[in-house]
Amino acid sequence: MKSQTKIWLGVGLVVTGGAAALPPSSTSTAIAAPGSFVLSSDSICGTPPRDAQWILVQHDMPAGGEAGEAGVPADLPPDFQFALTLALIRGHLLVGDELVRAGKWDAALPHFLHPTEELYGGIKDKVGDYQTPAFDTALLKLADVVKEKNSSAYTNALNGVTSALDAGDAGVKAKEADWPSFVVATAIMALKAAISEYEEAIVNGQIAKPVEYQDSRGFVWQAERMIDSVSQDLARKDPAALKSVRAGLAQLKKAWPTVTPPRTPVKNAAAVADEVANIQRAAAKLM
């Protein structure tokens, strides 16, 4: 049975069907109705049912490194956690591929290592739940190909991973009744991961950590691709909101003018965070 899940990002997490009250420290304006389940970024009360109807999510990606280093938040609903992990892996591969195609194999390598080192472990025991083949071996093979700068084997190795990611996306989609809303929510969380990475890249007003800059670029570009993948459905739901989200993404992307970072950031971390918040507000009408 498909999950009747609707995800909103911004003011706490409420799922109908359990039993709990808002955490005492919560500043959420959401009211937990009788028989509701509440999940905050630091606590879980109750167990969400498979047919949860409303979810209001407030999560910031872990600070002090990218989402993968600290782990995708463990208190996310399982489908969301799995989909977000796939999205972040795609973001790494996206920017890594951009570097490979620019002939920057050494710079690309960390982005092909991160999925195995930081992300895959969180879903390795869950891939079967989503009719997805294990792809840890494929990730390792791809990283080896990049390390060896083996251009002749690169495309096949990359395709081996992306086909597994495609299967994972299909497996999640089969469980979601409102796929466009789910995709938008996942894309917003990927943007939050980008904020964390971008902030980490900047030291004393300079971009001192190019890998983190590139990670954040990959996550933003991946989030945009996700929005584009369901854009026809979103346009039917609220064309003005979709237009605002796309305009926000276009403005946000100016922080990453090239895959190789400029010495001085085009935008500071606070400005990037504000722009993601604006995108999130516009996206609320699409979820």
Q: What is the pLDDT of residues 53-85, one digit of tens each?
A: 233 344 455 443 444 344 577 778 899 999 999
**pLDDT value at position 133?**
97
| Angstrom distances, CA of residue 197 to CA of 213, 233, 269, 283 | 7, 30, 9, 22
**pLDDT value at position 2?**
58
Closest CA to 1 of 170, 174, 167, 130: 174
Cβ contact 256:213 at 8 Å: yes
**pLDDT value at position 287?**
85
26 Cβ partners below 8 Å, 6+ apart? 12, 38, 40
Domain map of the chain by residue range? 1-58, 67-286
**pLDDT value at position 92?**
98
By residue count, the chain amounts to 287
Q: What secondary structure letter does DSSP report for 31?
A: -
pLDDT in tens, 264-282: 999 999 999 999 999 999 9
Token pair recorded at residue 10: 């911004």
**pLDDT value at position 34?**
29
| Angstrom distances, CA of residue 220 to CA of 66, 75, 94, 95, 163 | 13, 23, 10, 10, 21
Token pair recorded at residue 286: 């699409």
**pLDDT value at position 76?**
82
Segments of the chain scoring below 70 in pLDDT:
1-71
